[in-house]
Each structure stands twice: as C-alpha cells, then as structure tokens.
Structure 1
Amino acid sequence: MSRRTPSPPGLPLSLASMRLAACVVALAGATLSESTAQATESCESGSGFELRGGSLRLENDLFAGTDQNYTNGVSVTLVSQDRRPGMSRDCLPGLLRVQARLIDAVNPGFWAGDPRTTRENVVVKFGQSMYTPEDYARTDLIENDRPYAGLLYVGSSWNRRHPLPTPGREVLDTREVTLGVIGPLSLAEQSQTLVHELIGEDTFQGWEHQLENEPAFQVAADHKVRYRSNPFGQTGAWAMDQITSRGFRFGNIETSATLSWEGRFGRDLPDDFGTYPIRPGAENRSPMAAGQTQSQDLTTSLGGHFFVLLEAKAVGYDFSLDGNLFEDSHAVSRRPLVGQVAIGFALQGSIFGRRTKFAVMRVFKTREFDEQESRHAYGSIALSMDL
C-alpha cells in the first residue's frame, strides 16, 4: 500500500511489543513461582512449576510491507524445567493439573513411554492476535473483505519427548488447551490504535464492525518427528536435519488438520524441534534429551542455521473468517485448503551462561478466502532464553 512506509516503524513497533512482553514474562513467572512456593513441603522436588525460561514472539505484516489480514500477533511463553514421567502433579498450578486429568481421560496413551528415555515439561502461553481488512479508512461494513477481529488468550501444554529405535530420530508430542475471548474484550482495537498513534501511522476506522464478544476455546495435538544427519562426519559442527509434523485443532478459535515439513542446515543445530509461526503447540521449548543436563545443553560457541518450512492445512472453521459461532456476524467465504511457506534463519548459543536462541522468518500464505485479492505475507521475530 502506497500510504505505508513499513521499514522505519517496524523497529519501534518491535521494541515496544518486546518490552511489554518482557514485563508480562516477569510478572507471570513470579506468579507461577509464588503458586508453586505455596505448595506443601511434602511436594517432591521438581514436581511444581519450576521456571526454566521463556520465549517472546512478535509477528506483524508491516515487516512485509502491508497492514491487513493477519496483521499482528504477540505471544509470551513460560517453560518449566524438565519433569520425570510419573512425577506427582499435585503441586502444579490448577490449570495444568486440570489439563493433565483431561489427557488422562481422553488420551491416556499420551503418557506411554520408557521412563528411562522419556522426558516431559509444561508450558504456559499468553498472547493476542488481530485481523483487519485492507482499507483502513472505510467506516462502513466491508462485506467482501475479512472481518475486524481480535483474540486474547492463555494456553497451557504438556510436551513429551522420546527417541525412536532408529538412531538419530526423536519424537515430540504436545497436547494443548487454549482459553480466551474474541471481540472487543480482546483489546485488539485499543492495542492497534495505540501503536499506530505512537508511530504516527493512520488508525483503522472500522473497528465498530468487529466480531462480537464470545468465549474462545481450542484443544490441540501435535506429533513431531526429527531426523538428524551429519554429512560432514559425526564430529563435525555442520549438520542438517528435518522435522515432520502433523497436528489437529478443534474449537471455535480454529478447527483444522495440518501436515508440515521443516528442513534446517547450519552450524551447531539447536536441540529443539524447529521454528514455527505462532500457533498452538509450536513454542519449541522441548524437554532436553534423556541423560542431558541444562549445563551440557549450553552451546559454547555461537551457532546458526537457515530453515525452510512447508505446511498444508485443511480448515473446517476459523473465527477470523467464519465470524462468531454463537450469533450472526460478518463472515467471508473461507477456503478449505490453504498452505504456507516460511523462510528464515536462527542464531543460538550461550549468552552470559544462558542458552539463547533468536529467530527471524518471513511467512507467505496462500489465499484464505475467496474474496481475498492476493496472497498474504508477514514477518516473525522470536527470542528464547533460559533464566
């Protein structure tokens, strides 16, 4: 859009969002730690939420030179220390205990695995996503473009990691529950207006037509397999791997099934399961491999790699396209099959003795609804660090 000059405002937008997210990380981490500290002395060591680290992620289409469709997303992730299989859950915060009981009832096979080689951790995520049509100046309802929509959410997930019999292959299984609110209570209008005013950009004028307030819910399951190879010899620092993933989501946020593949090549590849845009089960703070300690996991030298992600998705429901579930609202003609490609690079290593990873990617998406005139793209930056 000719009215936009995305490159200059991209930096202040990123810094402001990252600073805000850092404050949320500190506050939420203190709350979780306090909740665990109040547990009884009979709790087994490590059975509460012992904070290992966190991740901050900002996604915005200003990085791609537009301001429409999926226009902004921010997420803050808190990751626990690794837990041994079978460890008591009584000292965990209530949401994580309830989720574990739901997994017991619905998917008991999730807990299967050799306790000698299986590791697990728990993750708590907070975030906000917003969606807008292309024309910022129109105050009427734009029937042939995406609805104004916002989502504010909190999610929790259990991750379990174990090796496969074939050397160099590992599995990460994730089960996640997301709760939130759609509509004005998501504060998407206020967030976007505040940032646009701070950076001197035009504000969007049609937020009065956004989706109505509605509780949001989603359950998600992901299964990732990592295949690692080293074409330069087992002792070489340069390596490559690939990660396949299949996932399922159900709820009034999104109901979908996905298949994806990621290829990575670089020096000192991180011990995780890839780099993904914001979505349930995608914050790659997996448990460490069995027998590995956090000090052993620190990379002594700076490493980096390039990655490519390909994803195909079958969509049965998407609130940002289908509108409100429980009442009539603005909607467009959602396409049932969509795809996306992400290209990026990541740097990882030890900074002041703390494991750190910084990733940047550009995401390209196919048209998501019939009325959409062109494909969409946005940028994503993420910082993960152990505390």
Structure 2
Amino acid sequence: MKFRLLAFSLAIAVSSSAAIAEPSDSVLAFSTDNDLFAPTQTDRDYTAGVAITYSSNSREFMNNPVSRASQGLDNLLSSGFHTESGNRESAALEFGVYGFTPEEISATTIDRTDRPYSSLVYLSSSQSYQGLGEGSGWTTSMTVGMMGLDVFKSSQDSIHKVVGSDQARGWDHQISNGGEPTFRYSAAYHHYMGSNEPNQQVKTTYFGSVGYLTEFGAALVFRGGLISSPDNRFNPELMAYGERAPGVSAVGGRESYFWGGMSVKARAYNAYLQGQFWHSDHELSANDLNVLLAEVWAGYTYSFGAGATLSYVLRAQSSEIKNGTGNRTLAWGGLVFSKRLGAR
C-alpha cells in the first residue's frame, strides 16, 4: 500500500504540471543501475536500482505540493542561499527502488563479516538555486521512503529466474524487514569554473546530508565535448547509490560529451549497514565501518533526435567495511535514458 501511495503521489505531481510546463523546460528520464553493467560483473553490494525522474524549471511544477514541502524545509534549515521564487532555477521529482546484497546470495545463513541485505523504496524532491555570486549555485534534496519492503526482493527474484541466476535467499534478514520509514535531507554548494567555455565545464562541489546517509564531502566534476545542457541540472557527484535527482540533464541541443569526477567524503552513519530504530537480524556497528570514503566515476552522454539522450556511467567506491568478507571495492554501471518533453 505504501509503495503504491508513493507512486501515485509522483504520478499526480508530474501529470498535473507537465500539461502546463513549457515543453523545452521539462525532461522525463528512466535510469537503471546494475553491478552487472560494470566490467567485474558481480552480483553483490549495490546490486541494482531503477528510478523515474521528472525535472522542470516551470513555475507551475516548482510549486507542486511535494516540491513546496521540500522548499519549505530549505527555508527552515538553510540560510546560506536565497529560496525566493526568483532564485529557484529548476526542480525534480524522482521515484525509485534499489537494493544491496552480500557476496554469497544463495546462503540462508548470515555472514556476520559481510554486509546485510537492505533496500529502499523512495520519493525524492530536489531543487536547484542560483548562487549569491556569479558562477555558483546550490542544490537541495529531501527524500522520504521505506526500508525493508519486499519490492526489491520480488523484482530481483523475477529477474534472476528469467536469466537463470541464483536466487537470493537471505532477504528475510534484510535491514528493517517488513518496512520502516526513513528520511534524508541533503544540500550542496557548487562553484563553476570555466563555465564560459562551451565545450568544457569544471566545477567543485561541497555537500552534506543527514538521515539514513549522514556524511559530508567534496567533489571535482568535469565534462568535455559538445555540451548544450545547463550546469545546474548536471550533478553526478550528488548520486546516492541509485538516487539521481536532480542529476538529469535538460538537453538544449545536440550533445556528445565525456564526463567524470571524483569525491572524498566522511560518513558518520549508513542505515543500509547499521540499521535504524527497528530490530534487524544483521547489522554492523560504527566500529566495523570506514569513515573516509573515496569515489570515482566516468561516463558518456549522447543525444539523438527529438530531444532524446542516452548516458552510461561507471562508478567505483572504496570499501565501506573495514575487515572480513565485506572489505572490498564497490563497482557498478548505470544507464540513463532521458526525453525532453515537447521536442520534435
């Protein structure tokens, strides 16, 4: 019921605004991640995710009920940037699901030295703001969701049955099994360097979040080639596993460019490994986890006719777990197909 309610809320917000938003300002994207998309082709850690994202800079969409709640939280918590309507540049809503598994998925017993099963069904609202100074900006995101539902488990079982892979048999031990509400709020400051160069863009980002992922860090991001989409909708450094909003690029013309970056972060809490308030059969303690993490990524974006764009990205992150079976580098790949609404 709660999964259907989240999907219904996103559908209402998108459909009510899409009809009145200017076509050139609105993008609908479908994204999917899988560790099988990486060269290592493993089936563990952040194993897969699926999301639908709608992004627009129309005033009507930015004032939908979900975005207004997120913007109200920005006003309440943040004083480093202006949140008046004149300074908001775009907003995004994203609905998705993703999950994590240990290395040995065919076992029913728990490997206490590996990561637990965990999953999230979520709705995220994000906004981009113009910075106080030239060449700067802010993005914020509010995510609500449910951990521990059977949505990801059922999807994984169906896909593995079709492709003939081993069934994951430990989902009864996942974090917050049965469903537990969760929340995350994040904010990031961007400094754009060389933004006057049409074929090369570089920026630094300083970010932080509180909630099921509590962390802060810094990132260096670049892209080079044929670029026509705006800086404020290109934020690959803000991906939190499967969550991309507001990282959907709005195409203003033909595009063909490579992009990449790196980030370092200090993470104080990870609910996917440590659990939340409710009991979980398998949880790791803070002493089991690395505080400092590094992440690198590289991708390519190409636009087709009628405002359609396809992107591929490969990501790698240093180990989240200090010792044992779970002490390994994470790697996964992702595909994003986006369509500029109204383009011909």
TM-score normalised per structure 1 = 0.74
CA distance in 1, matches of 2:235, 2:132: 20
Corresponding letter in the other structure for 2:295: Q
Listed one character per residue, the Cα deviations across residues 156-179 of structure 1 (whole Å, up to 9, x for unaligned) are 1221135844xxxx3231121111
Does 2:166 match 1:202? Answer: yes
Contact persistence 1:51–1:78 (CA under 8 A):
no
Secondary structure at the counterpart of residue 231 of structure 2: coil
Matched, 1:137 2:89: no
For 2:256 and 2:124, locate their aligned partners in 1 and report how far apart those are by CA, in whole Å: 30
2:58 is matched with: 82
Task: Answer yes or no: is 1:157 the counterpart of 2:120.
Answer: no
Match of 1:379 among 322, 333, 338: 333
1:62 aligns with 36
Identity over aligned pairs, percent? 25
Report how many aligned residue pairs link the two structures: 322
Q: Which residue of 2 aligns with 1:255?
A: 214
219-228 or 155-164, larger mean C-alpha shift: 155-164
Q: Secondary structure at the match of 2:194?
A: strand
1:73 to 2:54 alignment: no
Report the residue type matching 1:203 in the other structure. Answer: Q
CA offsets 1:280-334 (integer angstroms, 9 cap, x no match): 5753347x8xxxxxxxx731xx431112210111111111111233435412312
Q: Which residue of 2 aligns with 1:179?
A: 144
Moved more, 26-35 or 74-83: 26-35
Greater Rg over alpha carbons, structure: 1
Provide the C-alpha distance between the structure 2 equivalents of 1:222 and 1:105, rounded to a whole number of angstroms: 16
Partner of 1:211: 175
d(CA) in 2 for partners of 1:37 and 1:206?
A: 41
What is the Cα deviation at residue 262 of structure 1? 1.2
Per-residue deviation at 1:119? Answer: 4.6
Amino acid at match of 2:52: V
8 A Cα contact 1:335 1:369, kept in partner: yes
Q: Is the counterpart of residue 110 in structure 1 residue 81 in structure 2?
A: yes
Verify the 8 A CA contact 2:35 2:48 in the aligned structure 1. yes
Give the conservation status (yes or no) of the 8 Å contact 1:321–1:369: no
Structure 1 residue aligned with 2:258, among 306, 316, 319? 306
| 8 Å CA contact retained: 1:147, 1:323 | no
Instruction: After TM superposition, list the pairs within 5 Å mapping 1:1-387 onto structure 2.
Output: 31-32=12-13, 35=16, 52-64=26-38, 65-83=41-59, 92-111=63-82, 115=86, 118-162=87-131, 164-165=133-134, 170-183=135-148, 185=149, 187-212=151-176, 213-228=179-194, 239-251=199-211, 253-268=212-227, 270-273=229-232, 274=234, 276=236, 278-279=239-240, 282-285=245-248, 298-299=252-253, 302-327=254-279, 329-332=281-284, 333-348=288-303, 351-352=305-306, 354=307, 356-370=308-322, 371=324, 372-387=326-341
Please tell me whether the aligned partners of residues 93 and 245 of structure 2 are also in contact (alpha carbons under 8 angstroms). no
In 2, Cα distance between the equivalents of 1:33 and 1:323?
32
1:110 aligned counterpart, secondary structure: coil
**2:228–2:252 contact (8 Å) kept in structure 1:** no
Per-residue deviation at 1:34? 5.3
Question: How far apart in 2 are the matches of 1:243 and 1:269?
Answer: 16
Find the aligned partners of 2:235 and 2:31 in 1 and give their Cα distance: 11
Letter in 1 for 2:247: N
In the TM superposition, residue 94 of structure 1 has moved relative to its aligned partner by: 2.5
Alpha-carbon contact 1:80-1:121 (below 8 Å) kept: yes
TM-superposed deviation, 1:250: 0.5
Residues 20-45 of structure 1, C-alpha deviations (whole Å, 9 max, x = no match):
xxxxxx9877522554599xxxxxx8
Q: Deviations over 1:96-141 (max 9, x none)?
A: 22222222222255326894xx452221111111000001221111
CA gap of 1:195–1:222, structure 2 versus 1, over 3 A, is same
Match of 1:294 in 2: none
RMSD, matched Cα: 3.2
Q: Corresponding residue for 1:23? A: none
Q: Which residue of 2 aligns with 1:4?
A: none
Task: Indicate if the aligned counterparts of 1:220 and 1:281 stay in contact, CA closer than 8 A.
Answer: no
Is the Cα contact below 8 Å between 2:173 and 2:281 reproduced in 1? no
| Distance of aligned partners of 1:88 and 1:317 in 2 relative to their CA distance in 1, 3 Å threshold | closer
Runs of 5+ consecutive residues of structure 2 not aligned to the other structure: 1-6
TM score, norm. by length of structure 2: 0.82
Q: Deviations over 1:172-221 (max 9, x none)?
A: 311211110111x2512111111111222111111121122311111111
